[in-house]
Amino acid sequence: MIDTLNIQVNKILSSKISQTNFNDLPFGKVFSDHMFMADYQEGEWKNLQIMPYAEISINPAASALQYGQAIFEGIKAFRHANGKISIFRPFKNFERFNISAERMVMPAVPEELFIQGMSQLINLDKDWVPSIEGQSLYIRPFMFATEPVLGVHASETYKFIILTGPTAAYYPKPLKVKIELNYARSVEGGIGYAKTAGNYGGSLYPTKLAQKEGFDQLIWTDSKSHTFIEESGTTNIMFVINDVLITPSTRDTILDGVTRNSILELARAWGMPVEERRVTVLEIVNAIKNKTLQDAFGAGTAATVAHIAQIGHEGELYTLPDPTGRKFSNKVAKALSDIRYGIADDKFGWNYLV
């Protein structure tokens, strides 16, 4: 526990914001001036500080490098028209962060450390929150094991860091995706529901193979039979069939996405039928063939709503309805955007004002 959150602040001597082209922001390559950092030692969180963004030193025997104890989250902050800055649903990400920590045998991060550390960091770098439509400040909290030991057991020391950086859209165009029927992202009883680094490391090779075939991303299927759709490469996945919003139900192989949850809440508030259940590949392929599939999109913090334009399956490439004419995904994308930017009333209490 942390009785008093005392964060030491060491400001950068000269900001690099003037060197940043906000009209050309590649995702995840531009970082703000400062970062938040804390150390877990002797059973407690210590050395809370905000410092200039810079490289850090790490012992080559650190447990994270040897045995993969590393987790992260993705969050966004938005600038409203009145100049105020809000973080979208950070408490949901906080909850999931500690779910991941428990699965990876890592210490829980206290709520005040997670939220206040993030808020103070953004306040210090508030000029980095874009005012251009469609842009936001991406926030990356992460934790990794630091104990220098070559032995397979949970580390006794950890480092928690928060990075931020302005960003534009993750996917600039609708996606061409392939249903993966050989490799698996996660397995039952595994760590698929945790946002841990290894899940993404293991996905890189099959994604690379798909990209060589001209696809942007994969749709992952279950590891046992490859008959059930689970999620996409960087997002949860959703379909609209016969005016019903359908998405795979969360389980230990699927990440419980914050954007996914937000979209489901909006759909239900609008009175739209929603089904969270197992979804078969055959059901989706048949719905495409008989033209009852009206919409398909990915849902995630980085991507928000990512339209799927084409789906590849067993050598066949299926073209979906034109994204510009899709009713639900465009409506929900606008609704989320309006809430995040303070244009619409935040009826759900999702915005956390900094």
Domain residue limits at 42: 8-167
Stretch 35-48: mean pLDDT:
97
| DSSP secondary structure letters along 162-219 | EEEEEE--S-SS-EEEEE-SS--S--TTSSTTS-BHHHHHTTHHHHHHHHHTT-SEEE
Work out the pLDDT band at 1, boundaries 50, 70, 90: very low
Flag whether pLDDT at 2 surpasses 50: no
Q: Flag whether 38 is in a domain.
A: yes
Cα torsion 78, 82, 84, 87: sign: negative
In a domain, 351, yes or no: no
Looking at the chain, the whole-number percentage of residues with pLDDT higher than 90 is 95
Is 354 part of any domain? no
Q: Is the dihedral of CA 145, 149, 151, 155 positive or negative?
A: negative
Question: What average pLDDT score do residues 112-141 get?
Answer: 96
Domain presence at residue 350: no
Q: Does residue 26 share a domain with residue 163? A: yes
pLDDT, position 113:
97
CATH code for the domain of 106: 3.30.470.10
Q: Under DSSP, is residue 236 helix (H, G, I), strand (E, B) or coil? A: strand
Shared-domain flag, residues 65 and 109: yes
- CA 122/CA 124 separation, integer angstroms: 5
| pLDDT recorded at residue 239 | 98
- pTM summary value: 0.96
Question: What confidence tier does 5 reach under pLDDT thresholds 50, 70, 90?
Answer: confident
Residues 186 and 136 in one domain: no
Pairing of strands 8-9, 44-52: parallel
Q: Do 140 and 26 reside in the same domain of the chain?
A: yes
- Residue 4 has a pLDDT of 56
> Residues 160, 179: one domain?
no
* Domain assignment of residue 118, yes or no: yes
Average pLDDT value for residue range 145-164: 97
163 Cβ neighbours under 8 A, 6+ residues apart: 31, 32, 35, 53, 139, 140, 142
Query: Which residue reads 């963004």 in tokens?
Result: 53
Total number of domains constituting the chain: 2
pLDDT, the chain, mean: 96
Do 18 and 156 lie in a common domain?
yes
Amino acid at 335: A
Determine the average pLDDT of the residues in 180-201. 96
For residue 233, name the pLDDT band (cuts at 50, 70, 90): confident
Same domain, 78 and 189: no
Residue where a domain stops, chosen among 116, 143, 167 = 167
Asked which of 3-17, 80-94, 161-175, 214-228 is least confident by mean pLDDT, the reply is 3-17
In a domain, 314, yes or no: yes
Residue 53 and residue 145 in one domain: yes
